[in-house]
Structure 1
Amino acid sequence: MERPDLPFPKVMLFDWHGTLVNTHEAMYQAIEEMLSQVDELDLVRHLRPEAEAKTKEDEKLLRYIRIFRHLHPRVLAEQRISRTDIFDALFGENEEANAIAHHAYNECYRNHYGKVYPFQDGVYDYLCYLKKLGIKIGVVTNRSREFLDHELAHIDNGRWKNLFDTSLCGNEARRYKPAPDPLIEAIESLDESVGKEVWYVGDSLTDMITASKADITSIFYNGALWDAEWFEYTFSVVDHDKHRPDHIVHSFDDLIDQVEAAQGPIDSSLTAQRPARLAPLQPPPPREEPDWHPALAKLTYPRVVLFDWHATLVDTLDAMYHAVDDMLKELRELGLLDHLVEPDHCKSPDDMRLVEYVRDNLSLHPKIKLDRKISRTDIFEILFADNQAAKQLAHQGFTKHYRKYYGTALPFEPKVKQVLEGLRGLGLTVGVITNRDREFFVHELNTIDGDGWADLFDTDICGDDTVKRKPHPDQVFKAADNLDIPLGADVWYVGDSTTDVIAAKSAGITSVFFNGALWDQPWLNKIFPGNERYPHKPDVVVNDFSEFWAMMLSCRRKHHEKLATDESQ
């Protein structure tokens, strides 16, 4: 990829963020805030069609932002991709949309900017050494002048302020990068000519495109520590092949080495002033996650995705807790008080305390109703364990009281409907399995979001459609019969309770635990111990629908890559 025979630079221009300095935290906060405004900014209509995305990553980013109006969790976690690259993926060369996006970003950035650090140790000393070699240096950035000047005044206690021979910001150029205008204008401000004796050092694909269009030398600063496979993939795409960097450097020591190689013999008095070499940059240590974390889970791409209803797709918690409490007041009349599980049969001390409180007070503990984390089905599982007859009576009692309260079902998250539509857009079969009785489910299904969601599901199985409810797998089996499909790992069941996990694993399908209640890791380990008595554990845990969608797209990509590999063999 690299072309190492480079001319000695008369001018070296640098990108700012991600190359010379680190302002990641403020930048990503501002992008997230700006993306939440794309509707009111009328930018949705300017988003590139996914079919026109330049790379698979761009396609995934587009689809994710189109649904959730914020960045993919992995992008936020890695903090490797620049603001300009994000906007290029979203809007391409649409100058109107880019101008609106950059202006909105600047408005948001005012709420977050301030902290700025050298991207690596010794940057100031390296820049001073370049000047001693007779090289004019400058900054060309899409950042606005007010932010650059503020950051120049504060970084390293202000000693960078008078370091550069020129600087040009995005709001000063005729067009933003990746248009070549900012580089050309900066070179002209130094009374120099455009050519290969001008180097542009940047950390992004956009920077390389900008340098290529300006017909100057492009140097990719790999501060994000992308591997060789990333470079080969990124610059092998047809539109990007002609913008391959002239050279890749992994540190400022590498950059100085390349400059010295281009110059030839250097006076020993100068080389003695070269900054001491520093240890190479190191990637952050890998995060340790449980094997059910989305980043680690080994999942089969689904043909069918089945969902629980309450506390997964919709929120009916107020009505549910009212009805459970009313039913618990009648435990004695229903003949269920004597069927409460014995303490030594409880899964955990917390379960034992719940049973004891119900036995003594015939109601739920106030903290349970305040936390709104545990489902009706899980409550009944804790109270009656494997006693199917007792659970059946409890569900009947609940149903009687639920008629007094039900009516309003709200989407559990604002973008749930778009996720369901997105799954169908991927060609997947989508269904619902719920312990809710059909009379309530049908009402909620047809009234949620005003127009209802009935057209989003290929099948729905309710608690009174089978003899046994979850955690028994009967409802899963009935869904498979309705869809005329075999059960296996390519059928996913997404639910928020231990009973959903048990039903899925008992049926031999993939269990996705939807942790909308945001249980912490110790609690998850407690409710899914994976021991002989309680062997069922989810295949993966997701905390919200944005994480679920990110996982789905990643799984889809791996699936298509495997298919392509298999076809080529």
Structure 2
Amino acid sequence: MLPPPKVILFDWHGTLVDTLDAMYRTMEEMLPQLEELDLVRRLQPETRCADPDDAKLVRYIRIFRRLHPRILAERRVSRTEIFNAIFAGDPEARRIAHDAYNRCYRGHYGDVKPFQEGIYDYLLTLHKLGIQLGVATNRSREFLEHELRQVDGGRWAALLPVRVSADDVARYKPAPDVIHQALKLLDTAAGPAVWYLGDSQTDMLTAHNAGVTPVFYNGAHWDERWIDRLRSKREPTPEAPAAVVNGFDQLLDQLEGLETRGKAQFAVRLRNNRPPAYPPRAAPPPRIEPDWHPSLAQLTAPALILFDWHATLVDTLDAMYHAVDDMLPEIETLGLVERLLPAAESKSPEDAKLVEHVRHYRQLHPRIKIDRKISRTDIFEVLFGDDQQAKQIAHRAFNRHYRKHYGTVLPFEPQVRNMLQGLRDLGLVLGVITNRDREFFEHELAAVEGTGWSELFDTEVCGDDTPQRKPHPDQLQLATRTLGFNTGPQVWYVGDSTTDTIAAKRAGVTSVFFNGAQWDQPWLEKIFPGSTHHPHQPDVVVNDFSEFWALVLCLLPARK
């Protein structure tokens, strides 16, 4: 049973106020700076992450330098939760990340509103009950005070006289410093009579570390299974809340229950002083997952599986984007400006914007570099369309610059080698089809994971092995011919780009789109419109290699 409170301290963002728009815009501006902040190498190793979700978040940020799309869609996770997950055990890295976040936040803060309807009335009721109120937050005071003046006409300030920010203490949450400092200002000792209301696991752990009662505010609509993990009795965790409320009306229900049972006596009777019941915050619309899903696909079991290299099996994004940055300023001297695709011929408005940005500024649009989801081959396809000679010139210029940057190559997922070896153990023939020139590919193939993956593939076809690169089918046709196969649905090509899908469909093989970038369905429909001019669509979409492995296992009995 909850102890009656004399003090209730609140988290700020995600509990009392909604600053989600500003927070996520700031995160999307700050995360691309990880490399210059020297924080990429300090990301938590995936093998040491607290759970698979944290490991996926670390991997996504390492590769794409942005938040996983599911986090952006659900809008539940705070920057503190993100930094605690990706820099766990490295408080100095977290401090650097928070400082960088604060610098970026100055361009976005001010967009603030009550997290749910009626919060002023609820705070006023708590004040009438004689409960001392305050805020303990990781927000910097500069932003907290500005937002407090902005929200609800500034009416909350008198009801929240004690406010402790991250700059008032030595350590960020989950250290207990902000709570202890607030209690010092209230001249109150930590104990069960102090409640801390927050919306995250970090808040619950902070309350535990401070020795106060943790109350979880489920304004983000976490489902029951997620909540049950927090308060599991079989495996008690420090962040287990003493109570869970879905809105501020349920917080008053907890207090009235204590009053009714004679466990608490307030300055006024709560039952007679409650405000009208305001509805809890509405849930955000769900993310629309891809529907070219394995469970819906009608596929032929594979005998030969060919893989793309970059952004499918391995991560070489840093070197690739550095080389593109170096190459694009040369397009005028290369005679390529006049050969850029006319906007009317672009597949989508986004493609047309990319072409126009390169035409005017000789560089990628900043959004492309922030998203880090498009390969150099796709970039050149967008810029030059079917102009093969222009693309060859662009690829050669890219290769000159890539020599300065290549060398670092990481598995795209931790278990890629095991997955490839498992496919071989099943009797499947494997190969790599890449637009990477052999000079670079052979170095990367030998360097990945220190020992290389050369023995895992029966053939490799590089960009300079055939007259034309993807999206033309030459490379796929050469690989199948070399291995004694005919092209057909029993040959699969797994790749992460529209170029890979087009090459597969032109070659007459099964196209498996590897959605490592986690595009949602509306975006997939944009890049694969199925129109007369752009007819090619993948046969199936897989979001990671565990899903791909399960798909192969399901189909192999049919072949046998």
Instruction: Give TM-score scaled by structure 1 length.
Output: 0.68
Q: Equivalent residue for 1:358?
A: none
Structure 1: runs of 5+ lacking an equivalent: 327-348, 352-365, 381-394, 542-547, 564-569
Distance 1:523 1:217, change over 3 A: closer
**Alignment partners' CA distance in 1, 2:57 and 2:100:** 19
Alignment-mate amino acid for residue 379 of structure 1: D
Output the amino acid matched with 2:502.
T
- What's the offset of the Cα at 1:98? 2.7
Measure, in 2, the Cα distance between the counterparts of 1:562 and 1:207. 42
Whether the 8 Å contact between 2:162 and 2:185 is mirrored in structure 1 is: yes
Code of the residue aligned with 2:272 in structure 1: it is A
Note closer, same or farther for the CA distance 1:261–1:296 as it changes in structure 2 (3 Å cut).
farther
Q: Give the superposition deviation at 1:129.
A: 0.6
Give the equivalent residue in structure 1 for 2:386: 379
Paired position in structure 1 for 2:245: 249
Question: Equivalents in 2 of 1:404, 1:16: separation in Å?
Answer: 50
The corresponding residue for 1:198 is: 194
Letter in structure 2 aligned against 1:492: V
Question: 2:68 is matched by which residue type in structure 1?
Answer: H
Distance 1:295 1:373 in 2: 33
Q: Secondary structure at the match of 1:162?
A: helix
Residues in 2 aligned to 1:468 and 1:408: alpha-carbon distance in whole angstroms: 16
2:546 to 539, 545, 556: 556
Shift of 1:62: 1.7
Which residue among 109, 113, 123 is the counterpart of 2:109? 113
State the partner residue of 1:527.
Answer: 531
Q: Does the 8 Å CA contact 2:134/2:163 hold for their aligned counterparts?
A: yes
What is the rounded CA distance, in whole Å, between the counterparts of 1:243 and 1:89 in structure 2? 15
Q: 1:420 deviation in Å?
A: 5.9
| Matched residue, 1:426 | 416
For residues 10 and 304 of structure 1, the distance between their equivalents in structure 2, rounded to whole angstroms, comes to 65
Amino acid in the other structure paired with 1:283 = A
Q: Is the 8 A contact 1:15 1:203 kept in 2?
A: yes
1:145–1:469 Cα change, 3 Å? closer
- CA deviations on 1:198-233 (whole Å, 9 max, x unpaired) are 110000010000111122111110111010122234
Give the SS at the match of 1:283.
Answer: coil
CA–CA separation in structure 2 for the residues paired with 1:509 and 1:416 = 28
- Contact residue 29 and residue 104 of structure 2 kept, 8 A: yes
- Residue 510 of structure 1 aligns to a residue whose secondary structure is strand
Amino acid at match of 2:291: D
Q: 1:508 aligns with which of 502, 505, 510?
A: 510
CA contact (8 A) 2:438 2:463 kept: no
| Amino acid paired to 1:305 | F
Work out which of the residue numbers 492, 496, 502 in structure 2 matches 1:499. Answer: 502
Q: Which amino acid aligns with 2:88?
A: G
- CA deviation vs aligned residue, 1:17-54 (integer Å, no higher than 9, x gap): 00000111222222333333333333344332222211
| Equivalent residue number for residue 545 of structure 1 | none
Corresponding residue number in structure 1 for 2:174: 178
Contact kept, 8 Å, 1:471 with 1:502, in 2: the verdict is no
Task: Quote the residue 1:21 is aligned against.
Answer: 17
SS class of match (1:224): coil
The alpha-carbon deviation at position 442 of structure 1 amounts to: 4.2
Q: Which amino acid aligns with 2:75?
A: Q
Counterpart mapping for 1:98-247 below 5 A: 98-233=94-229, 241-247=237-243
Which moves more between the two structures, 459-468 or 102-111? 459-468
Whether 1:537 aligns to 2:533 is no
- Report the alpha carbon displacement of residue 520 of structure 1 after superposing the two structures with TM: 8.9
Whether the aligned pair in 2 keeps the contact of 1:408 and 1:444 (CA below 8 Å) is no
AA at the equivalent of 2:503: D
8 A Cα contact 2:337 2:359, kept in partner: no
CA contact (8 A) 1:15 1:201 kept: yes
Partner of 1:96 in structure 2? 92
Shift of 1:131: 1.1
Q: Which residue of 2 aligns with 1:392?
A: none
Which letter does structure 2 place at the counterpart of 1:291? D
Shift of 1:460: 3.3
Whether the aligned pair in 2 keeps the contact of 1:511 and 1:540 (CA below 8 Å) is yes
> Where do 1:339-354 residues align within 5 Å?
none
Q: Deviations over 1:535-567 (max 9, x none)?
A: x521468xxxxxx9xx43xx538969999xxxx
Q: Give 1:509 deviation, angstroms.
A: 4.5
CA distance in 1, matches of 2:527, 2:214: 51
Q: Decide which moves more: 239-248 or 452-461.
A: 452-461
Q: 1:524 to 1:82 in 2, by over 3 A?
A: same
* 1:510 partner letter: V
Matching residue's letter, 2:273: Q
Structure-1 separation of matches of 2:60 and 2:394: 40
- Is the 1:407–1:444 Cα contact (8 Å) retained in structure 2? no
| CA distance, structure 2, for counterparts of residue 62 and residue 12 of structure 1 | 34
**Given the superposition, is the C-alpha separation of residues 415 and 425 from structure 1 closer, same or farther in structure 2, using an over 3 Å criterion?**
farther
Question: Could you say which residue in structure 1 is the equivalent of 2:33?
Answer: 37
Residues 512, 539 of structure 2: 8 Å contact kept: yes
Aligned position for 2:68 = 72
Which secondary structure state, in structure 1, belongs to the residue aligned with residue 133 of structure 2? Answer: strand
2-structure distance, mates of 1:212, 1:404: 58
One-letter code aligned to 2:308: L
Larger Rg: 1 or 2? 1
Report the CA distance shift for 1:484/1:125 in structure 2 as closer, same or farther (over 3 A).
farther
How far off is 1:462 after superposition? 5.3
Q: Specify the code of the residue in structure 1 equivalent to 2:204.
A: M
Alpha carbons of 1:243 and 1:17: their partners in 2 closer, same or farther (altered >3 Å)? same
Give 5+ residue unaligned stretches, structure 2. Answer: 312-316, 347-354, 361-378, 421-429, 554-560
Q: Secondary structure at the match of 1:409?
A: helix
How many percent of aligned residue pairs carry the same amino acid? 41
Gap change, CA 1:260 and 1:71, over 3 Å in 2: same
Distance in 1, Cα, partners of 2:497 & 2:462: 14
Checking the alignment, whether the CA contact within 8 Å between 1:194 and 1:215 is kept in structure 2 is yes
Could you say if the C-alpha distance between residues 282 and 155 of structure 1 is closer, same or farther in structure 2, counting changes exceeding 3 Å?
Answer: closer
* Contact kept in structure 1, 2:136 and 2:164, CA below 8 Å: yes
Aligned position for 1:460 = 460
Query: Separation in 1 of the partners of 2:87 and 2:16?
Result: 26
Using the TM superposition, name which of 69-78 and 120-129 deviates more.
69-78
Residue 241 of structure 1 aligns to a residue whose secondary structure is coil
> Does the 8 Å contact 2:193/2:213 carry over to 1?
yes
| Conservation of the 8 A alpha-carbon contact between 2:247 and 2:279 | no
Q: What do you get for the CA RMSD once the two structures are aligned?
A: 5.1
Q: CA deviation at 1:523?
A: 7.2
